[in-house]
Amino acid sequence: MSSPRPIIGITCPSRPTKWAKWELDAVVIPTTYHKMVDRCGGIPILIPPGSNVEIIDKIDGLIIAGGPDISPEIYGQENGKFTNETYLEQDISEIALIKSAIKKDLPLLCICRGFQLLCAIHGGVLYQHLPETNGFEEHGGWDGNVTEHGVNIVEGSKLEKIMGNRIIANSTHHQGVKDPGSLKVTALSSHDELIEAVEVEKLTFCIGVQWHPERIEHVSLYQAFIDSARGS
């Protein structure tokens, strides 16, 4: 008998949206997330901002998805010139989910914004705009543009066991992690050494990555996460 498909919660934003003749708040997220979860054997469900944190007890794994910049007050700064779109309600909601998942040792995969938020709540700090940060001016695509670059993964890390020691990642962000706080750094970009991944070693599966693995056929990372959730 095959193992049951684990239920995977995916965070998503809520925004005013118009379709047909209606203008209402709606949850919106790229389909690449739920398609990859389904492909790897999970059952995806969406978790919008403000959801009761008790949903953690009803799922087998949690994905903190990409999205807008996190509020700089989370990591002790004021908004920079290019930090224009933040949603504190979403930040607070996702922080509660992350903390609850960690406390329960629920498999946790944090992507792009989620990776940055994971670092921030562990005492980390962000670069608010890489194109104006010395050494990272040419890091990669942002503002709707996508580029690719190499990523070197730390030997002996969980991420290295899943993906090997070097990969090609996509870049779709203008902010980056300056200081990961108490988290272990497990990957750096090959061209400018920006932090690209972190993990919590003591937990069963808690990995954050700056890139979007669901958009670049990094099936192995999602598969490892789903397999971990299946055993939770």
Average pLDDT over residues 58-83: 96
Determine the 3-state secondary structure of 107 from DSSP.
coil
Average pLDDT over residues 26-34: 94
Catalytic residue among 40, 149, 214, 218: 214
Kindly report, residue by residue over 35-59, the tens digit of the pLDDT.
Answer: 999 999 999 999 999 999 999 999 9
Asked if residue 11 belongs to a domain, the reply is: yes
Catalytic residue among 12, 110, 112, 119: 112
Residues with Cβ within 8 Å of 17's Cβ and at least 6 positions away in sequence, in order, are 23, 24, 25, 26, 28
Asked if residue 147 belongs to a domain, the reply is: no
Asked if residue 134 belongs to a domain, the reply is: no
**Could you tell me if 68 and 85 are in contact, meaning their C-beta atoms sit under 8 angstroms apart?**
yes
Give the full edge-to-edge strand order of the sheet including 108-111. 43-47, 7-11, 61-64, 108-111, 206-209, 195-199, 184-189, 147-153, 166-171
pLDDT confidence of residue 154 = 98
40 labelled catalytic: no
The one-character DSSP state at 230 is H
139 labelled catalytic: no
Asked if residue 76 belongs to a domain, the reply is: yes
Asked if residue 135 belongs to a domain, the reply is: no
Give the mean pLDDT of the chain. Answer: 94
**CA end-to-end span of the chain:** 18
Kindly report, residue by residue over 171-218, the tens digit of the pLDDT.
Answer: 999 999 999 999 999 999 999 999 999 999 999 999 999 999 999 999
Asked if residue 84 belongs to a domain, the reply is: yes
CATH of the domain at 48: 3.40.50.880
Asked if residue 154 belongs to a domain, the reply is: no
112 labelled catalytic: yes
Show the domain range for 116. 7-126+176-188+197-230
Asked if residue 163 belongs to a domain, the reply is: no
Number of domains in the chain: 1
